[in-house]
Structure 1
Amino acid sequence: MNALTPPALLRPETPASAQGIGERVQRKEDRRLLLGRGQFVGDIRMPDMLDVAFVRAPLAHARLNGITKPEGLENMVYTMADLAGVKPILAASSLPGFKRSVQHPLAHGKVRHVGELVAACVAPNRARAEDIAARVEVDYAELPVLADMHAAMEAPTRLHDDWSDNVFAETRVDRRVAEGSAPTRTLRRQLRTSRQCMMPLEGRAVLCWWDHRLDQLVMYSAAQLPHINRTGLAGCLGLDQGQIRVISPDVGGGFGYKGILLPEEICCAWLARHLGRPVRWLEDRREQLSANANCREHAYDIAVEVEADGRLVGIECDAVVDSGAYSSYPFSACLEAAQIGSILPGPYVMDYFRCRTRSAATNKPPILPYRGVARTGVCFALELMLDAAARELGIEPFELRSKSLVPASAMPYTNITHKLFDSGNYQAAMDQAVAALDWTGWRQRQQAAHTPRADGNPATKRIGLGLAVFCEQGAHGTSVYHGWGIPMVPGYEQCAARFTPDGVLELRIGAHSHGQGMETSMAQVAHSVLGIGIEQVRLVHGDTAQSPYSTGTWGSRCAVMSGGAVGTACQALADRMRAMAAVLLGAPAESLRLEGGRFATADGTAALTLTEIAYIWYRAPQKIPPGIEPGGLEVVAGYKTQPDTGTFSYACHACAVEVDTATGQVRLLDYAICEDGGVLLNPLIVEGQLIGGLAQGIGTALYEEMPFDAEGQPLASTMADYLLPGAGEMPPLKVLHMETPSPHSLFGQKGIGEGGAIAPPAAIINAVNDALFALGAELTECPASPERVLAALASASAAGARA
């Protein structure tokens, strides 16, 4: 299905070409990145620069009785007592009952997780700074540790002394829209997703210096939200935002990990101003694994009620998210858990939905919204329950889902939690994914593989099939985030578009790329409107001094919001240049055709290229008659979806796995994805996003886990302990695209950047459970490590023996 005609709001005059919207254009940025010509924070060097190493807490919960600096090195070690005038990080929410956590850049009073910053040590190089840090003596008084989220909510110990309990926030949803009458069955499970680290190729990095000429702090940071970081930094340092310039150069992956204000950023900024020298911190992998933000730790006590034919009647759920020790700016500690209550129903129709969520505070690093945010856990919980129901009823899982998926005829559809699904055909996506996997063929191979061996013993290599369906809200608007009550509300996304005197089009946007290929896709949008070659387009972003204010890159919003802003700005620029061309050509403006980057008269006898118009404006203004718009060839345009509830992409993932019951190993045999991202700006880039997301989802499903012991100590602090999927773990893959245009976006595009990571844990664990079903074993937690698979088999065997 290729619906590449944009909605009525903006129809480019330039006909489709090999560079426009919908074309598989190779990424412009790849050449410099592959040749090592990218510029990351770690590549930037400044004269007289100091490196920072931090003293980090070795205990998860302790009072600070005192800090002793090494003798003779006192002026190279800084504690919170030295950071005069620096305010703590406060990431609050206006949700009823939300409790604020106070996070000082350096520990004040006590530490609340292993790796919390206690002191900052500066030296001409990192090795020397680390030597100084090793000589700092800290007197800790240990406190009881809250390492388990359920126990923490009931414990008398308080993580934050002024709290009444250890819960950041609690939400409740209770909705019924219909009354059923058919006989039903109810299934209940306790499900969990394990805590993970977030693993961009590049760690977090900061370089700060004070520009005395402009009386301005300049901060280079590997950040997804430069303007939001500036806002938070200004509040903590007591500076006005004009005194701070945040620059995000090339960023080696973000995934949400680089979407918060860092204590390290605050420390480096204060030190740079205090010392009058550039100050840099580059995160090493051990710091990242053992000390910094985590993700994904959810627990669900969930029940689903279904009719005998599989129709979903309702869901009841009590969900807890381990939010760690602090609420991170700007998303706050409530976002992950509170979203469960609004998105758990997924793409299904049901009679009732009841959900309670809690954000538990524990002695672990703060939890952040990782690629897919709460959707990965929600998809895992609901889709595992639907497969369990299908097994209980003896029907195929896709047959059960067909009874409850929102039908295409109902679009646009407002679901039970008031989410407005803009467009789509969920049934068709599932049908195509099932067919692409060859579900029937795999069922036949499964039957043959499960035939008992000649010695009568069961086969040890078992095949299982699984699928998962989800929908993803992207490009969230003002009303959505205002409702969360957090200190970040998106408004109009803006683009400043201008032609240079030689006809190069500069696009300045506030969102920042950390692997999404925006330099290419935004140029394709400009080409579709103006007809100029994408090599003639330059994208400027990641610099608060040059780019319009933006809440940045998160929530699958760039294609929709930045793409919409670029399209709107280019159209405004085209309108302005049309008026100029009409005067210069002596023809009515409405008669001019814009094709191939040139305005031509209706009879084709005269034409002006956009480059020629730019030259005249800047270099030959004597040719411009009076009355022309004096604003010239530079416009700033704003855009947001209408309505501003965002877009809903969706997909079905289906897979076949092999489970070795002797070793517990799980191997992916085949995988199929059918997704609908509306009109795809660049299908090649979309596929890259899907494949990268799939790799991360495979990590969640099978490998990645950050365990903590009872004392809050991280147990996977090196890459020898924290497992990541590699190329060898990627399965044979089929990717199918549906393109149902969104009526809410400028070109019909939908946000899709996070989608690849949402469904794999559910689809893969469903396949594992399908493989083990005849043995009475079932997994209720991911990752499906060999230990968990063998434990499930042992439990089933013991239960069978008891029976």
Structure 2
Amino acid sequence: MQHNQSDSAKPAGQGVGARVERKEDARHLHGKGQFVADMHMAELSEVAFLRSPLAHARIVGTTLPVEGAGRVVLRETMGDALDIVAESLLPTYQPSAQPPLAAGKVRFVGEPVAMAFAPTRAEAEDLAEAIEIEFDDLPVYASAEAAKAASADFIHEGWTHHNFLTLKADTRFDELAGQAKLVVHRSIDLARHCMVPMEGKAVLAYWDHQADMLVVCTATQVPHMIRTILAKCLGMDQGRVRVIAPDVGGAFGYKCVLQQEELCVAWLAKTHRKPFRYLEDRREHLIAGANTREHHYEMTAYADERGKILALDAHIVIDGGAYSVWPFTIGLEPGQAIGNLPGPYAFRGYRCVTECVATNKPAFVPYRGVARTGVCFAMELTMDAVARAVGREQWEVRLENLVPAELMPYVNVTNKHFDSGDYPASLLKAREMIGVDAVRERQRRVEPDGRLIGLGFATYTEQSAHGTSVFAAWGTPVIPGFDSATVRLTPDGGLEIRVGVHSHGQGMETSFAQIAHEILGIDISRIKLVHGDTAQTPYSTGTYASRSLVMSGGAVSRACKVLAPRIRHIGAHLIGARPEEVALADGRVLGPGGGVPISEVAQAWYLRPDRLPADVDPAGLETTTGFKPKVDTGAFTYATHAVTVAVDPETGHVEILDYVIVEDCGTMINPLIVEGQTYGGVAQGIGTALYEETPYDANGQPLASTLADYMLPGATEVPHMRIHHFETPSPHTEFGAKGMGEGGAIAPPAAIFNAVNDALKGLGAEVAHTPLTPRRLLEAIAEAEASRHRKAA
């Protein structure tokens, strides 16, 4: 088993493994980025939406302001636009039709009911607020439990129950559960919350009269897929729709589906042949974007006397909100949950039922880690509960259960193909870095201020770059296949790369240039990445699921490998050598008798063909090549996080004292970018653990509509983190790289809660509901004390 340590020598230069600073940072740090909000056009109108104040009601009357004639739009005005319908091939799936503007009824607070446009956003908002809507209240289903109990007035017409989907798995459960000596049960909850990217939704659309086409500039992760669905919903040929994603200020999954607002603004531009723009404000995001993470788990582990799990029984209920989104459908979340719940562990008995329930809340959207933050939280809290039940250290019981390195590659109980890695090694390294013995000694000494010290671990796998067979099994309407890249040598010897994925903070302009440099030797300052424009790039389903580096990066690698021999052939001819005698390095073709700059090779092809060899490849210095891994079930990244906390039992405050990460994402193209992604993910995971929540009252009203109510971790809440890398190359990808963009966000809630529960074990208290607010922590302590009194009585 090969895994290289982070403290080993790293390559100098600009190629694979080099710590190259991100090329794109310069323009962002100097305020020269180009976001949708930065765009200016003649006759641009700004769009504002009137949003529903009710969670579930019929629309029985509408009065439009006289001054808004021609500038206010309702659903009936948009008769030529189709509703958004995400079909699925999964059994039990019920589709929903999501209108661009509410039609006949509203289904969640914040749903767009009407839109208005004017020269300024303020004028558009005034116009929208002058619209009068009369509602007739319907029963509100503000929780999955309430929705499941409904017998009439369903959220969607034609439905007879509120389950979008129910999935089931059962593998040798009865056989292996019957052998258990110990049964441990826990109820575990994740709260609903938002993604909160720095830039919210943003879309500008206009009609290009010269090209006779609709142009939609939108902050999206998936420009090609947005073109596909916009063309369908607007009844247009895809060749007459161009989607451009400029700089995107964060996304995290929020921008990987078709938004109602994108369809509305595109319809305006198509209809009026003028430019229109919508920019989401923060309050709109917190209300209409409260759409992720809400899971409930009933977990029962069946184990032997040492804590080795033999079988797991789980019932998962996911609050899916009002609509199934396009293209991933609501099936993605329960599909990921039921498949990834076992995590990195080797038990063979498994039974799971996952229900996704429609409620009067915003539609559930994939968020960084897609279900895996939830399943890691549930699995790791259960693992700690088993450890406490058998009286062993948390790390010892994990070590007992992790897939051993010698069994790699390994196919687990849900048919996940773990391609490579050493899971126990990551746990043991995290144990060493966090200093278990020192933490236990500190616990025994007792803190002078009365705070309680706790230690927590969480180990997880991240299924990255999963492809055709996986998405086909989930029945999604769009299924990823090959990703393509075009590479082109420019006439002056630079390199242009075109890919269909799009960056929203991942550093693609740097990483893809490093891949090309590794093969062609061209300085990365002379390598330009073109992405985010359907008119200029090859088709890709886009950026999601930690896939871009593996898929499009793999295509860049393959395309450069196609181009390299063509460059060598021309260069060898120019220096009088045979092609097999020359190599590419430092921007030159080098041979036994000297070398020639690649720029001279390019000049020969484009400007001086009289200098070309007679047998030159007529395909020239440009190629488009596709790539997907040899096994498309995913390249599995993994990591162990360990954390030490101090808990104040009087105030409920939790302080993170130490945080360590031991991760393996295969060969790192750029360790700086890997670490930046990991640190950012951990910050989001800390938000999930301790701060972020959108609660709802019984009427479906969101109770956190401003950043005074919706808490986010800031610089003072994110601790210094220590990270250690293993590098176990994947056997299925270019350079052995694995995706890792989501991983940092998966483990923190589990690790932090396990640390807090470790601190509270002397009090008999336990917490299992995010976020871990002081109120929840103090309630758990009070409940434990009351329980002790009841038992004593």
TM-score, with normalisation over the residues of structure 1? 0.96
* Other-structure match for 1:304: 301
Identity level (%): 52
* Other-structure match for 1:732: 720
Equivalent pair of 1:166/1:360 in contact (CA under 8 Å): yes
Greater shift in the superposed pair: 632-641 or 604-613: 604-613
What is the one-letter code of the residue matched to 1:491?
G
Which residue of the other structure, out of 738, 746, 754, is the alignment partner of 2:742?
754
* Other-structure match for 1:438: 435
What are the Cα deviations for residues 386-409 of structure 1, in whole angstroms up to 9, with x where unaligned? 001111111101100111110110
For 1:271 and 1:731, how far apart are their aligned partners in 2?
Answer: 46
Aligned length: 785
For 1:274 and 1:403, how far apart are their aligned partners in 2?
Answer: 63
Q: Does 1:494 align with 2:484?
A: yes
Equivalent pair of 2:570/2:613 in contact (CA under 8 Å): no
SS at match of 2:565: helix
For 2:225 and 2:363, how far apart are their aligned partners in 1?
Answer: 18
Q: Does 1:715 align with 2:703?
A: yes
Q: Does 1:70 align with 2:65?
A: yes
For 1:802 and 1:285, how far apart are their aligned partners in 2?
Answer: 47
What are the Cα deviations for residues 226-276 of structure 1, in whole angstroms up to 9, with x where unaligned? 001111111110011111111111111010011110111111111112222
Which residue of the other structure, out of 492, 496, 508, is the alignment partner of 1:506?
496
Equivalent pair of 1:16/1:528 in contact (CA under 8 Å): no
For 1:417 and 1:721, how far apart are their aligned partners in 2?
Answer: 40
What are the Cα deviations for residues 746-781 of structure 1, in whole angstroms up to 9, with x where unaligned? 100111110000000000000111111110111011
* Other-structure match for 1:484: 474
* Other-structure match for 2:333: 336
* Other-structure match for 2:99: 104
SS at match of 2:577: coil
State the 1:607 CA deviation.
Answer: 2.0
Equivalent positions of 1:219-298 (< 5 A) are 219-298=216-295
Q: Does 1:569 align with 2:559?
A: yes
State the 1:480 CA deviation.
Answer: 0.9
* Other-structure match for 2:785: 797
What are the Cα deviations for residues 160-208 of structure 1, in whole angstroms up to 9, with x where unaligned? 1201100101000001287488651111111100001111011110000
Q: Does 1:32 align with 2:27?
A: yes
* Other-structure match for 1:368: 365
What is the one-letter code of the residue matched to 1:587?
A
Equivalent pair of 2:494/2:522 in contact (CA under 8 Å): no
State the 1:745 CA deviation.
Answer: 0.6
Equivalent pair of 2:191/2:694 in contact (CA under 8 Å): yes
Which residue of the other structure, out of 115, 121, 124, is the alignment partner of 2:119?
124
SS at match of 1:315: strand
Q: Does 1:49 align with 2:39?
A: no
* Other-structure match for 1:592: 582
Which residue of the other structure, out of 309, 323, 326, is the alignment partner of 2:323?
326
State the 1:17 CA deviation.
Answer: 4.2
SS at match of 1:378: helix
For 1:704 and 1:600, how far apart are their aligned partners in 2?
Answer: 57
Which residue of the other structure, out of 306, 313, 317, is the alignment partner of 1:316?
313
SS at match of 1:289: helix
Which residue of the other structure, out of 505, 515, 532, is the alignment partner of 2:522?
532
SS at match of 2:125: helix
Equivalent positions of 1:665-704 (< 5 A) are 665-704=653-692
For 2:649 and 2:243, how far apart are their aligned partners in 1?
Answer: 53
Equivalent pair of 2:182/2:302 in contact (CA under 8 Å): yes
State the 1:588 CA deviation.
Answer: 2.4
What is the one-letter code of the residue matched to 2:83?
P
Equivalent pair of 1:293/1:368 in contact (CA under 8 Å): no
SS at match of 2:462: strand
* Other-structure match for 2:382: 385
For 1:101 and 1:345, how far apart are their aligned partners in 2?
Answer: 30
What is the one-letter code of the residue matched to 1:370?
Y
- What residue ranges of structure 2 are gaps of 5+ in the alignment? none
Equivalent pair of 2:180/2:310 in contact (CA under 8 Å): no
State the 1:648 CA deviation.
Answer: 0.1
State the 1:16 CA deviation.
Answer: 5.5
Equivalent pair of 2:568/2:583 in contact (CA under 8 Å): no
For 1:482 and 1:632, how far apart are their aligned partners in 2?
Answer: 37
SS at match of 2:731: coil
TM-score, with normalisation over the residues of structure 2? 0.97
For 2:135 and 2:676, how far apart are their aligned partners in 1?
Answer: 48
SS at match of 2:735: coil
SS at match of 1:669: strand
For 1:495 and 1:609, how far apart are their aligned partners in 2?
Answer: 24
Equivalent positions of 1:630-649 (< 5 A) are 630-649=618-637
What is the one-letter code of the residue matched to 2:411?
T
Greater shift in the superposed pair: 483-492 or 164-173: 483-492
SS at match of 1:747: helix
What is the one-letter code of the residue matched to 1:159?
I
For 2:180 and 2:269, how far apart are their aligned partners in 1?
Answer: 69
* Other-structure match for 1:523: 513
Equivalent pair of 1:180/1:351 in contact (CA under 8 Å): no
What are the Cα deviations for residues 279-322 of structure 1, in whole angstroms up to 9, with x where unaligned? 00000000000113511000001101111111111110010100
For 2:67 and 2:30, how far apart are their aligned partners in 1?
Answer: 45
For 1:687 and 1:584, how far apart are their aligned partners in 2?
Answer: 43
SS at match of 1:728: coil
Which residue of the other structure, out of 162, 165, 176, is the alignment partner of 1:166?
162
Residues 799 and 179 (structure 1), Cα distance of their counterparts in 2 relative to 1, 3 Å cut: closer
- Over the aligned positions, Cα root-mean-square deviation in angstroms equals 1.5
* Other-structure match for 2:194: 197
State the 1:103 CA deviation.
Answer: 0.5
State the 1:3 CA deviation.
Answer: 5.9
Greater shift in the superposed pair: 689-698 or 306-315: 306-315
What are the Cα deviations for residues 579-610 of structure 1, in whole angstroms up to 9, with x where unaligned? 22233334322222222232222xx2132222
Which residue of the other structure, out of 459, 465, 474, is the alignment partner of 2:464?
474
* Other-structure match for 1:134: 129
For 2:262 and 2:111, how far apart are their aligned partners in 1?
Answer: 14
Which residue of the other structure, out of 760, 765, 768, is the alignment partner of 1:780?
768
Residues 573 and 293 (structure 1), Cα distance of their counterparts in 2 relative to 1, 3 Å cut: farther
Equivalent positions of 1:344-423 (< 5 A) are 344-423=341-420
For 1:365 and 1:16, how far apart are their aligned partners in 2?
Answer: 47
For 2:63 and 2:270, how far apart are their aligned partners in 1?
Answer: 24
What is the one-letter code of the residue matched to 2:204?
L
Greater shift in the superposed pair: 677-686 or 441-450: 441-450
Equivalent pair of 1:349/1:415 in contact (CA under 8 Å): yes
For 2:12 and 2:484, how far apart are their aligned partners in 1?
Answer: 26
What is the one-letter code of the residue matched to 1:172?
K
What is the one-letter code of the residue matched to 2:399?
S
For 2:475 and 2:703, how far apart are their aligned partners in 1?
Answer: 35
What are the Cα deviations for residues 327-349 of structure 1, in whole angstroms up to 9, with x where unaligned? 11111011111221111111111
Equivalent positions of 1:421-432 (< 5 A) are 421-432=418-429
What are the Cα deviations for residues 12-67 of structure 1, in whole angstroms up to 9, with x where unaligned? xxx95411100111111111100101111000010010000001000000001122
For 1:618 and 1:26, how far apart are their aligned partners in 2?
Answer: 32
For 1:515 and 1:426, how far apart are their aligned partners in 2?
Answer: 28
* Other-structure match for 1:153: 148
For 1:181 and 1:300, how far apart are their aligned partners in 2?
Answer: 22
* Other-structure match for 2:545: 555
